[in-house]
Amino acid sequence: MSNCIFCQIINGDIPSKKVFENEHVLAFLDISQITKGHTLIIPKIHNENIYDLSPEAARNIFEVVPQLANAIKAEFNPVGMNIITNTGEAAGQTVFHYHMHLIPRYGSGDGFG
């Protein structure tokens, strides 16, 4: 979708700091780092949110999440990690291209939660 920010990131019209990429998914640093290493993973196919995700698209995301979480853990050395998806405006979704947040946690005082 041409007016979708994340589709524009996928096609390179908007720059991003890539963390991981394969044929189906892209992971990149969130522009507004809730904590250091805050990363988003998105499917390369546009789907508004999890309600629209096909089982295959869901598999493509979840298949790489353990590897991605371990890479973030190795790079930033957090003590925990929140892995969350906001679904719908009322739940805090602001970009309507499915994405999962990986938010490294550094203990009390890290500014999140």
Which residues contribute to the site for ligand 5GP (CB under 6 A)? 5, 14, 16, 28-32, 86, 92-95
User: Which tokens in the block code for residue 94?
Assistant: 């602001």
> Applying CB under 5 A, which of residues 6, 27, 37, 57 lies at the interface with Zn ion?
6
Q: Is 3 exposed, middle or buried (0-12, 13-18, 19+ CB in 10 A)?
A: exposed
- Cβ proximity to Zn ion, 92 vs 113, nearer residue: 92
Distance in angstroms between the alpha carbons of the first and the last residue of the chain: 33
97 binds Zn ion (CB under 5 A): yes
Q: Is 99 a catalytic residue?
A: yes
Which residues are the active-site residues? 99
